[in-house]
Amino acid sequence: MAIPKEVREYAADIPHPSGLIGCRCGSLSLDCCEYDIAIIAEGKNSVVKLGKYTVETIYLKPLKEHLVDIKDIEIFKDSKTLLLSSTAKEITDAKYGRLLAAAGKKQLVASLFFQQKTKSAKQPILAALWLKIAAYRHMAGTLTISGVRPMPLHELDQIRQQDLTSEVADGVNASLECIGVERATRSQITRSIEAFAEIKSNDYDRDLVLAKAEYLLNNGKLADSYYYMGRILADMVSSKSEQHLARYSKLYQIALDLGSVQNLERIQKVLFRATKRGLN
C-alpha cells in the first residue's frame, strides 16, 4: 500500500517499535479513514492531523495480547531484538484463524451476557440498550468466527460480503433488526450525531469518529453511518458505571435510537438460539 510521506516522517520520530495496522493495510479503507500506527509501548492513544491526513497512535502492550491486531502490519521501526517483526512472522494463517475463533467466541459469550441483562432490566429503555449491545457483540462475533477481523467503520460492509448459512443469517438478521439499520434516516442520524458528540465530548477520538460518521452520511451510506455510531457507543457504554448511564441516559436514548426498538422478546429469543449455535 502507498503510505503518504507525511505519515512515514511522523512515524520515524516515534522512539518505540511501531507499524501501520488497520484498514489502511488492506483494501477496505475510505477517504475518511485514519492511518493507525501501533506503538509497542505504554502510553495514551491520540489523534494527530498531518495536513490532509489523520493519524491515530495506538499503544499495544503487552504485545502478546494484540496478535490479531498486528497481522499484516507494515513495520516502521523495530527493536534491537526484532521483537515486532519476529512476533508478526509467527502469526501464520492457521494461528491467526485460531486467534480469531477464540476472539469470536468471547464476543458471543459477551452477547449472551447482555441478553441476560436485557431479560432482567427493570426499564424498557435499559432493556433496549442491553439488547442493542448484545446485537452488536453478536455481529462482531459472527464475523470473527468466520475468519474476518471486524472493523467498526466497515463492519456492516464486511457482513454484506459474507456467504452466510441460513442459520447464521437468522442471527444476523435479528441483530440488524434490533440495531435498526432499516430505520436509518438522515434526520435520525443527525440527531444521533449531536447526542454522540456530547457523550464523547472528553474523548480523544471524538472528532475523528464524528468525521467518519458524517462522511458516510454525506456519501449516502445512511445504514453504515447509523450502524457505525451505534457500534462505537455499544463498545463504550458496556464498560460504563450505572452513574454514567444515569447521567447520560437521555443522550444515549437519542444517540442509540433506543425508543424505536420493538419486539425485544422475539428478537432476543432468535438471537439467543443463534448465539448458542455459534458457540457450539
Alpha carbon 67 to chain centroid, angstroms: 17
Tell me, yes or no, whether 131 and 85 share the same domain.
no
Q: How many domains does the chain have?
A: 2
Q: What is the pLDDT of residue 242?
A: 75
Tell me, yes or no, whether 171 and 213 share the same domain.
yes
Position 122, amino acid: K
Q: What is the pLDDT of residue 22?
A: 96
Alpha carbon 217 to chain centroid, angstroms: 18
Going from the C-alpha of 204 to that of each of 45, 80, 147, 208, the distances in angstroms are 8, 31, 30, 9
Domain boundary among 42, 58, 89: 89
Q: How far apart are CA 56 and CA 49, in angstroms?
A: 9
Q: What is the pLDDT of residue 138?
A: 97
Question: What is the signed CA dihedral for 75, 76, 77, 82, rounded to 10 degrees?
Answer: 20
Grid cell for residue 211? 468525521
Q: What is the pLDDT of residue 233?
A: 94
Q: Are 104 and 143 in contact (CB under 8 A)?
A: yes
Q: What is the pLDDT of residue 1?
A: 64
pLDDT mean by block of 10 residues, the chain; 280 residues: 92 97 93 97 97 97 94 95 95 96 97 94 89 96 96 96 92 94 92 94 95 97 96 91 84 90 88 93
Tell me, yes or no, whether 172 and 215 share the same domain.
yes
Domain boundary among 63, 89, 115: 89
pTM of the complete model beyond 0.85: yes
Q: What is the pLDDT of residue 248?
A: 86
Tell me, yes or no, whether 127 and 165 share the same domain.
yes
Tell me, yes or no, whether 29 and 141 share the same domain.
no
Q: How far apart are CA 73 and CA 69, in angstroms?
A: 8
